[in-house]
Structure 1
Amino acid sequence: MLLLMAGFPACGGGPEATPVPSTVGELFDGSVATTTIGGLRVDGWIRRDLPDLQAAADRCAASADVDAPIEPEEGPRTVVVESGDSLGKIAKRFDRTIDQFMRANGMSDPNLLQIGQVLVVPAKRAEDVSEPDGPTVVIEPIFCEIDTGVSAFGPDGRQLGGPGILEVFGDWPRLEGPREAPRVNGRLRGLASASIRSFLDDAVEAIEKGGYACRDASHNRCAWLQHRPEVLLATDDLLSVRDVVRLLLPGSSMVDVEVRTSTFDLATGRTIAIDGLFDPDTDWLVAVSAAAIERLADQPWTDERRVVGAGPEAENFERFNLTYGGLVLSFAPGTIGGAGTEDVLVTIPYRILDGYWALGGPVAWLEDLTP
């Protein structure tokens, strides 16, 4: 865990309607869109450079770099209970459950928290997500907490009682065993590192331009990045990872959500593109599109945009994963519907696309392993 501080004078004021724009670049294969974020700013704030905050952000980003050593934790991670905190909020912040926090801290009642109380954050166990004969995948945490030194203000213009905090939860999956594991791990950590740097650059820019303005008046932690990677497949031949990324910037009015995916050929350590799954002499795009649109119609919050967002264009299906159960498709934000559809997924059973798969390709490798 990296705790960083930057010291600055407070600035008072309230929100105004001027947006604080920021762009978040796409990082995974096939990611091409950007998202513009707007929201509140602190009334009376004058744009200024914050070199101490930038230096703290740089130190956090450096801890996530590909060449940074992976070191065992020196001790348990802790968190201090602040005004407005509940055990549910704290557990959600660290991607844990209330029960996990209660067990780790010997608690019998989740409602008996005290301001200033120090809680142990339960460790996230290294998890074997593979089949018995497959490789082990370990979830490696990257965590930073940056005290910006800039006073946080709520949407009503009132100071929240402390400096704004930037938080980074940059978990990434580390592969153990295969010969090409270093190449795979380098890419996975590199993607997490690039995401963290992009978020911190945007967060510092937003604070320098508009102060630390929060949409939530209950606490001063309204700027954070969270990666929640899930390994959907880990065999001796293939690794497929789906990462739901959520972020909130100072002054933003809503949380940005995006799904990023990568599927690796472990014989080469390289990623597999969507067209590498199919026989190029077939109309596989039409078949995949029809199957996807049919299944998206049953998903909540999708609308007519799915006809274009899941239309027969290869770029629409670049956010894919392989599983034993079928081809899993995710979509770029806003392409299949409005808010609530950012992390929607559909699964197309492999048999639906029989005749379209590449002979001897990745799907054939899975069929050889299926009982």
Structure 2
Amino acid sequence: MHLDPYAKALNTPHKWLSMEGDFVIEAKSVQSAPFDWEGVLSPNRPLKHLIIYEMHVRAFTQDPSSGVALPGTFLGMIEKIPHLVDLGINCVELMPIFEFDERKGPSGLCNFWGYDTVNFFCPMNRYAVSDAIYEFKLLVKALHSAGIEVILDVVYNHSDSFEFDKESYYLLDAEGRHTNYSGCGNTLNANSPKMRALILDSLRYWCTEFHVDGFRFDLAATLTRGGTGTIEAITSDEIIGKKKLIAEPWDPGGLCMQGQFPRPWAEWDGEFRDSIRRHVNFDAPLDKSKLLHPINFVVSHDGFTLNDLVSYNEKHNASNHENNQDGSDNNNSNNYGHEGECASLDAKRQEAMEKMIQILFQAPGTPMIFMGDEYKHTRFGNNNAWCQDNCLNWFDWNATKENQDWLDFFKSVIVRRKEEFTA
């Protein structure tokens, strides 16, 4: 990667997987069309009133069943906002939409999820038809008009490496080599003066230019390595500090800071997630959250889907081309007697899923669900589908009709949550 880290637009293609050769990209002058927000403002609800829907822009409409004119794009997502409204969602948490190189995956696969940022100011060109800046603004405006807030999943813990002035941006070892606390290599030093300034400038830009409502910080514990000050600077910033700030409070390097982020930060509650799973699947006691502002969830993008959580005891990741060595082995899942699909177990499995969702939506804090769980999406036991550009990740719109009863259950639980927690 060789580019201006402050570039606001990049000269990369708009067609998915259309780049060739080395990923050497150049900044280009910003010539996005003038944008009129027409007075549309954020709903700006209290965090505790949100129903968060974690989702992937491309996956949401890429499947032919979506029927949209421009599948896999910001504009395609706009066409499907009515589904979110009907479900009762009032906040989307978008998996990474910053520019990334989707070709960086195992042989024959891709980096579908996008957790490998190459620029912190540019929306992903492959999610746009012609003008990513303008089209992402259209999406935010449409979501706000529908009463839905927008939180971005941001990755400031690692990036593609570059050697120019790497001492200013990366966390290096004693020999000057890149470290790997993120599990993805090239750990950024969020607390160096230049990297801290870059993070703050990037966050402010997304707040002011794109009107986003907040950020979920991927592997946020990594932002405390190499020193201190960046978390505090984000918190006290007059623009960023007024937005929703959500931490994934751990990293693969073994650092867990759950319960240690300052107000007004919220945190993904991994302990509560595991407790719900053990309680329903194995009759273990249910532990209450210890966090002041928990983001409660049963599943997220990373791991089993809700349906697979009650259908598989083991991960089945062979299609990721890593000999089934990737992905967590600790899932607290239960197949209830048969590995994989089994019609005779459908009722028992649905009962388990219902219990999990009911506990989730009755718990203090903010509930989050993952895209597709409202129709029992399956990845057939793959619990690390980061590299799969296919049905494992794509939203199946036909399944929303085939599983209408389950969709109605989800709606009813969300309605009840709003009645009880927003009164």
- Normalising by structure 1, we get a TM-score of 0.26
The structure that has the greater radius of gyration is: 1
* TM-score, normalised with respect to structure 2: 0.24
- Which one has a larger percent helix, Structure 1 or Structure 2? 2
